[in-house]
Structure 1
Amino acid sequence: MANKTYRLFFCLFLLCVAPSLVFGQAKNDKTVVGKVGKQEVTYAELKKNYSSGSSEEPTLEDLESFLPIYLDYKAKLLAAKDQGYYEDSAMVAEHESYVKQAAYAYWLENEIKPAAFDEFKKRAEMELKTYHILVAVAPDAPQQQVDEALSKLEQARKEINDGVPLDEVNEKYSTVRGGRSMGGDIPWISVGRTVQEFEDVVYGLEVGELSEPFKTQFGYHIVLLQDKRERTPARLVNHIFVRGTGDSTAYDKIYSAYDALEDGKPWNMVLNQFTEDGASKRSNGRIGWVSYRQNFAMDFVEAIAGQDPSEPYSEPVKTNYGYHIFKIDSVETYASEEDRNQALMEQLGDTPYFEESNQFVVEFLQKQFNAEKHSGNEDLYKKWVLAFDTVAISTLPEPAGLGEETVYTFNGQNYTIDDYHGFIHNTYGKRKANAYRSNLLDEFARKVVDENIIEMTLDKYPEFEKQSESYLNGLVVYNINEKNVWSPATVDTSRLQSIYEENIKKYQYPERPFYYLMTSRHDSILTKAKDFVNNGGSPDSVKFRIDRIGVSVDSTTNFTQEPFDRLSEMEIDSFSEIFDYNNIRGIFWLEDRLPARNMTFDEAFNRILAEFQPQREKEWLQQLRDKYSVKVYVKKLRKAYDKDA
Structure 2
Amino acid sequence: MSLKQFFLGLFFSMSLATMGQNNAKEVLFTVNDKPYYTDEFARVYKKNLDLVKDESQKDLNQYLELFVGYKLKVNKAYKLGLQDNSKYQNELKSYRTQLAKNYFNDTKITQALVEEGYNRLQKEVKASHILILVDENASPEDTLKAYKKIEDISKKALAGEDFGALAVQYSEDPSAKENKGDLGYFSAFRMVYAFESAAYNTPKGKISKIIRTRFGFHILKVEDVRNNRGEVTVAHIMILNPKPEDTDQDKAKNTINDIYKKIQQGEKFEDLAKQFSEDKSSSSKGGVLNKFSSGQLSSEEFESVAFSLSTPNEISKPFQSQFGWHVVKLIQKHPVRTLDEMKIELEGKIGKDDRSKKITASLNEKLRKKYTFKRDNKQYAIISKLVTDDFYEAKWKQPENSNKYTNTLLTINTKKIESKEFLQFVEKQQKSGTAVKPITKLVDVLYEKFLDSQLTTYYDDNLEAEFSDFANVMEEYRDGLLLFDLMEKEIWERAKTDTIGLQKFYEEHKTEHQWKNRVEATILSSTKMEEIKKALALLKKGTEVQAIKEKLNVGDVVNVMSNSGVFEEGNDALPKSTKFEVGISEIQKEGEYYFVTKVDKVMPKGIKTLDECKGKIVNDYQQYLEQRWVDDLKQEFTVKINKDAFEKVKKQLNP
TM bin, normalised by shorter chain, reads 0.3 to 0.5
TM-score normalised by the chain length of structure 2:
0.45
Instruction: Flag the structure with larger Rg.
Output: 1
TM-score normalised by the chain length of structure 1:
0.46
